[in-house]
Amino acid sequence: MGQFGNQPDFATFDVKSITVVNGFINDTPSSASFLDSSVIYIGDNTTLGNELKVIPAGTVGPSVVTSLSSPGYAGSNGTGYSDSGNECFISSDASSSGLCADFTAVNGVVNSVTITDFGSGYLNGDLVTLDEGDGNAVFRVVAAPGLPTADQAVTFKDLGTGGFLPVTVDYVLATGTTVAKLIAAK
């Protein structure tokens, strides 16, 4: 708690007005609009309305596939595959689909894969099977946390002018935000 009620005493550096360039986003978070756990000061909510749509600090988006690796056991590269091709993978998880790759094989055993379509819904460590040959080439998905999405945003309503939002945020969305004169501080 700051010197006065609802006034933090730590907002001493990295104070900036939130604009399209340095904080507002239109529904696609990016490194350029990342506010890095900032507190938000609401300068005016009477001009445009009284809603602020934000993505709270620490929110992690859906996983993004970065590569595939061998699970490391004998026979995991399969049998009966053609010398090369482009195939999609079968996942045991119904919420993931669309991961496809170019592959090369020697004597029916897959020796390299290059992802051509990253699909969606895959998590780090998922096992997928290459859908060709004998259907027994297994690979482990390597995925990293992605940026949050607009679907993960939280809307605050009936905010007071001249006050601070009660949570720290990483992003402020332009779509759905009707307050004006926002300031981010750390």
66: three-class secondary structure by DSSP: strand
> Residue 118: pLDDT band by 50, 70, 90 thresholds?
very high
Q: Which pTM was predicted?
A: 0.68
Distances (CA, A) of 154 to 57, 107, 184, 186: 11, 54, 17, 20
What tens digit of pLDDT does each residue of 152-178 get?
A: 999 998 887 888 888 999 999 888 888
Mean pLDDT is lowest, of 46-60, 110-124, 133-147, for 46-60
Sign of CA dihedral 99, 28, 171, 159: negative
Q: What is the number of other CB atoms lying within 10 angstroms of the CB of residue 42?
A: 20
Mean per-residue pLDDT, 53-81: 91
Chain-centroid distance, C-alpha 178: 25
